[in-house]
C-alpha cells in the first residue's frame, strides 16, 4: 500500500491521498476474505433474478446510470484527479466521456449483438437438421482494475457485464479506492437491484480473495506479474479470465508522415496521464531522414507543457500515482543515460513539488518489488512514526535520443513520462524493431500512404494498430481491446469483448425422425462402407459427391430399420 500508509490508518482501513499534495481524500474499510466470499455469494443470488430481466430494463437502468454520472460529472472528475493525480480535464476527456459513450452504445446494441442466430451447417441441413446459437450470461463477473483509469475501465467492464445479464463484484486498486466506491454508488442511485454491483475494498490480498471466491469470470487489468498470479489462482476453479496487461507500444514514423501531427501525437501519447497508460508511446521509431526535424518539434512542444497538480486547469502533466512508479521511471532514465542515450529534455524528478509519501509497499508485482523502498532511502524521511517521507512525485516529461533496442528500458514497461527515440532506415527494420518485444498491446504507423500503413500495420504483433493515430482507441467502445503476446488474453469492448461475458449454447434440431441416423448402432460391414463414404464424399462438402453416396446410405438405413 503505497500512498495510503502515509497517514495513520486504523487497522483494516485504507486512506486515500492526493499524490500532488499528500492531502487525505478519504478512507475506506478493507473487506476481509470472508466478506469478499459473502459478496460473491450475494452476487450469485441476485444473478438468478438479474439474468431474467429484459434487455429493455437493463438498458433503462444503464441509461439512468449515465444521467447520474452527468449530474455528478464535476465532482467525479475531481475525485478521479485527486486520487490518481491526473489533470481534471483528462479525467473528463479520457475517462468520463468515453465511458458515457460506451454506456449508450452497449445499452442500445447488446440485445442485437446477443440475439440468437442461426448457424449454417452445410450438408447436414439436407438431412432436416438446423442449428441455432443462443447466449447465456455467465454469472458473477469479478473486475480487478489498475489505478491508472480507475473510473472508466471498471465501470465500462461492469456495464458490459450487466447488459449481458451478469452481476458484478469490483475490487478497485488500493490507490484509488474512493473512485471504486463511487462506481458502486452510481449503480445504486440509478436503481440497480441491491448487490447487482458490489465494490469490495482492499489491497492485493482482497483481489486474491475475490479470485479465490470462484466467480464465473475475472476481468483483470494490471501488470503481467499479477496477471500471471491471477491466471494461476483462477485455474484452480477453472474460472476463465480476461487479462489486460502491460505494453511497450511502438510508434513508427515513416519518411512521408505529417511531421507536425506525428510530433503532437507523440507528445500526447507519451505524456498524457504522466505516461501511465498501458498504450502510451513507449518507443518511437523514426526514419533517419526526418529524425532531426521530428525530434526538434517534439522537444519544443514538450518544453511548453505545464507541470503541476492535476487540479490546475493549465497543467498538462500531473504527478505520478505512487513512489514506486516514479522510482521505475528514475531507474529507466538512469539506465538510458548509462547506456549512452541522450536526455534532450526533462529527466528529473521535480523537487519543487513536495508531497507526503509512504515508502512501504505491500504491492507485489515484479517491477514494483524492485521499486519499493525503505524509509531510509529517501532524504527528508520523517522516520518510523508514520512511515512516511516528503518527496516529489512529479517527473518531468523526458525526451531521449539515441535509444536502441538493446538498452534495458526499451525492453521493460516504463509506465511513466519518457519518450525514447530510435531511428531506422528500411521499412523491414522498423517492423522488426517494433516487434522485438514480449509485449503487443497497441502500436501506430505514421504515413501519408494509407495502403502502405495498413500493410505495415498487419505485420505488427499488437492487438490494435492505428494509422496516423495513437493510444485513444480504448475510448471507442465498439472496437475490441486487448493484447497479443504478454500484453494479455481475451478482449474487452466490442463484440469480441461482449462475447467474453456470455456462454454460447448450441441448440440443434432434427425435424426428420422417421428415418434412423446411418451412424447409429448396430454397426456392420454395410455401416463400415457407409462410414467410408461419409469420409470420402459427404465430408468434401460437395453436393454432387454426396449424391453418389445415396444408394449406400439407403442400403444402410434399410439395414437399420430391419433391426
| Smallest distance from ligand NDP to CB 74, Å | 24
Q: Among residues 222 and 420, whose Cβ is nearest to ligand NDP?
A: 222
Interaction pattern, residues 258-297, with ligand NDP; x per rule: CB under 6 A = --------------------x-------------------
Nearer to ligand NDP, 478 or 526 (CB): 478
Is position 278 annotated as part of the catalytic site?
yes
The interface region with ligand NDP, picked from 79-87, 239-247, 346-354, 428-436 by CB under 6 A, is 239-247
- Cell 518510523 -> residue: 384
What is the layout of strands, in order, in the sheet containing 502-510? 117-119, 129-137, 502-510
List of long-range contacts for 71-75, beta carbons under 8 Å, 24+ apart: 72/186
Question: In terms of Cα–Cα distance, which of 58, 32, 164, 121 is closest to 498?
Answer: 164
Is residue 189 exposed (0-12), middle (13-18) or buried (19+ Cβ within 10 Å)?
Answer: middle
What would the grid cell of residue 475 be?
475510448
In the complex with ligand NDP, the residue whose CB is nearer, 131 or 364, is 364
Q: Is 222 an interacting residue with respect to ligand NDP (CB under 6 A)?
A: yes
Told to check if 98 binds ligand NDP by CB under 6 A, we report no
**Candidates 90, 278, 412, 466; catalytic one:** 278
Minimum gap (Å) between residue 382 Cβ and ligand NDP: 24
Q: What does the DSSP 8-state code read for residue 445?
A: E
Which of the residues 397 through 436 are near ligand NDP (CB under 6 A)? 413, 415
C-alpha 195, offset from chain centre: 24
Per-residue x/- track, 51-90, ligand NDP (CB under 6 A):
----------------------------------------
Contact string 439-458 vs ligand NDP (x = CB under 6 A): --x-----------------
Decide if 244 is catalytic.
Answer: yes
Considering the complex, what minimum distance in angstroms separates the CB of residue 26 from ligand NDP? 16
Picking from 221, 284, 220, the residue whose alpha carbon sits closest to that of residue 248 is 284
Question: Any idea what the Cα angle at residue 475 is, between residues 474 and 478, rounded to 5°?
Answer: 85
**CA 199/CA 177 separation, integer angstroms:** 9
Judged by CB under 6 A, which stretch of 100-108, 172-180, 281-289, 505-513 contacts ligand NDP? 172-180
User: Does residue 211 touch ligand NDP according to CB under 6 A?
Assistant: yes
Residue 241, strand partner residues: 218
Candidate segments 35-43, 52-60, 216-224, 514-522, binder of ligand NDP by CB under 6 A: 216-224
Cβ neighbours of residue 522 closer than 8 Å, sequence gap 6 or more: none
Q: Reply yes or no: is the peptide bond before residue 522 cis, omega within 30 of 0.
A: yes
Choose, by CB under 6 A, the member of 22, 85, 156, 246 that binds ligand NDP. Answer: 246
Beta bridge partner(s), residue 24:
17
User: Quick one: residue 561, left, alpha or beta (phi over 0 = left, psi -120 to 50 = alpha)?
Assistant: alpha
Q: Least distance to ligand NDP from the beta carbon of 195, Å? A: 21
**Selected binder of ligand NDP within 83, 95, 174, 500 (CB under 6 A):** 174
Binders of ligand NDP among 475-514, rule CB under 6 A? 483, 488
Distance (Å, whole) CA 55 – CA 9: 43
Stretches 64-72, 245-253, 465-473, 545-553: which one binds ligand NDP (CB under 6 A)? 245-253
C-alpha R_g of the chain = 27
Rounded CA-CA distance 430/442 in Å is: 15
Whose Cβ is closer to ligand NDP: residue 3's or residue 363's? 363
Cα atoms in the Cβ-side hemisphere of radius 13 Å centred on 458: 5
Which cell goes with 411? 525492453
Site map 188..207 versus ligand NDP, x via CB under 6 A:
---------------xx--x
End-to-end alpha carbon distance in the chain: 73
Near ligand NDP by CB under 6 A: residue from 363, 470, 489, 556: 363
**CB of 444: closest distance to ligand NDP in angstroms?**
16
Alpha helices in 152-223 (DSSP H): 152-163, 177-190, 204-212
> What is d(CA 18, CA 490) in angstroms, rounded to the nearest whole number?
33
**Considering the rule CB under 6 A, would residue 437 count as an interface residue with ligand NDP?**
no
Among candidate residues 90, 244, 412, 427, the one labeled active-site is 244
Q: Which residues bind ligand NDP (CB under 6 A)?
A: 144-149, 171, 173-175, 203-204, 207-208, 211, 221-223, 226, 229-230, 244-247, 278, 363-365, 413, 415, 441, 483, 488
- As annotated, the active-site residues are 244, 278
Amino acid at each position: 500500500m503505497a500512498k495510503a500508509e502515509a497517514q495513520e490508518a486504523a487497522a483494516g482501513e485504507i486512506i486515500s491521498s492526493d499524490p500532488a499534495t499528500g492531502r487525505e481524500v478519504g478512507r475506506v474499510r478493507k473487506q476481509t476474505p470472508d466478506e469478499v466470499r459473502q459478496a460473491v455469494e450475494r452476487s450469485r443470488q441476485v444473478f438468478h433474478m438479474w439474468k431474467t430481466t429484459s434487455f429493455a430494463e437493463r438498458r433503462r437502468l444503464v441509461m439512468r446510470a449515465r444521467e447520474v454520472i452527468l449530474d455528478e460529472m464535476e465532482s467525479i472528475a475531481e475525485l478521479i484527479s485527486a486520487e490518481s493525480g491526473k489533470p481534471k480535464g483528462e479525467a473528463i476527456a479520457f475517462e468520463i466521456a468515453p465511458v458515457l459513450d460506451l454506456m449508450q452504445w452497449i445499452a442500445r446494441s447488446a440485445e442485437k449483438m446477443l440475439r440468437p442466430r442461426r448457424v449454417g451447417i452445410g450438408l447436414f441441413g439436407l438431412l432436416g437438421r438446423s442449428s441455432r446459437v443462443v447466449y447465456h450470461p455467465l454469472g458473477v463477473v469479478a473486475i480487478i482494475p489498475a489505478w491508472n483509469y480507475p473510473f472508466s475501465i471498471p465501470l465500462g467492464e461492469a456495464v458490459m457485464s450487466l447488459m449481458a445479464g451478469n452481476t458484478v463484484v469490483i475490487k478497485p486498486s488500493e490507490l484509488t479506492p474512493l473512485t471504486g466506491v463511487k462506481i458502486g454508488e452510481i449503480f445504486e442511485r440509478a436503481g440497480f437491484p441491491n448487490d447487482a454491483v458490489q465494490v469490495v475494498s482492499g489491497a492485493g490480498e482482497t483481489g486474491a480473495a475475490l479470485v479465490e471466491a470462484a466467480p464465473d469470470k475475472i476481468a483483470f487489468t494490471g501488470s503481467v506479474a499479477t496477471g500471471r498470479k491471477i491466471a494461476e489462482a483462477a485455474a484452480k476453479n477453472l474460472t476463465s479470465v480476461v487479462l489486460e496487461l502491460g505494453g511497450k507500444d511502438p510508434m513508427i514514423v515513416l519518411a512521408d508522415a505529417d511531421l507536425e501531427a506525428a510530433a503532437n501525437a507523440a507528445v500526447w501519447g507519451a505524456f498524457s496521464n504522466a505516461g501511465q497508460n498501458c498504450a502510451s508511446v513507449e518507443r518511437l521509431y523514426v526514419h533517419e531522414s526526418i529524425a532531426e526535424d521530428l525530434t526538434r518539434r517534439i522537444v519544443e512542444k514538450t518544453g511548453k507543457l505545464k507541470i503541476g497538480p492535476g487540479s490546475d486547469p493549465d497543467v498538462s502533466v500531473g504527478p505520478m500515482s505512487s513512489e514506486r512508479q516514479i522510482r521505475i521511471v528514475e531507474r529507466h532514465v538512469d539506465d538510458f543515460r548509462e547506456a549512452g542515450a541522450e536526455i534532450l529534455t526533462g529527466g528529473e524528478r521535480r523537487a519543487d513539488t513536495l508531497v507526503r509519501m509512504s515508502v512501504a509497499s505491500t504491492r507485489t508485482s515484479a517491477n514494483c518489488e524492485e521499486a519499493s523502498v525503505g524509509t531510509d532511502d529517501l532524504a527528508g524521511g520523517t522516520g518510523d512514526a508514520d512511515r512516511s517521507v516528503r518527496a516529489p512525485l512529479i517527473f518531468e516529461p523526458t525526451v531521449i535520443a539515441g535509444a536502441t533496442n538493446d538498452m534495458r528500458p526499451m525492453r521493460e514497461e516504463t509506465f511513466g513520462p519518457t519518450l525514447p527515440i530510435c531511428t531506422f532506415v528500411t521499412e523491414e527494420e522498423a517492423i522488426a524493431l517494433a516487434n522485438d518485444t514480449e509485449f503487443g498491446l497497441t502500436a501506430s504507423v505514421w504515413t501519408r500512404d494509407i495502403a502502405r500503413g495498413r500493410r505495415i500495420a498487419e505485420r505488427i504483433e499488437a492487438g490494435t494498430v492505428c494509422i496516423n493515430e495513437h493510444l485513444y482507441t480504448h475510448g471507442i467502445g465498439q472496437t475490441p481491446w486487448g493484447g497479443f503476446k504478454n500484453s494479455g488474453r481475451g478482449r474487452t469492448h466490442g463484440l469480441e469483448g461482449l462475447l467474453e461475458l456470455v456462454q454460447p449454447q448450441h441448440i440443434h434440431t432434427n425435424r426428420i425422425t422417421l428415418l434412423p441416423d446411418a451412424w447409429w448402432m448396430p454397426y456392420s460391414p454395410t455401416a463400415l462402407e457407409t462410414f467410408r463414404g461419409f469420409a470420402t464424399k459427404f465430408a468434401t462438402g460437395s453436393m454432387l459427391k454426396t449424391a453418389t453416396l445415396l444408394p449406400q446410405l439407403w442400403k444402410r438405413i434399410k439395414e437399420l430399420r430391419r433391426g
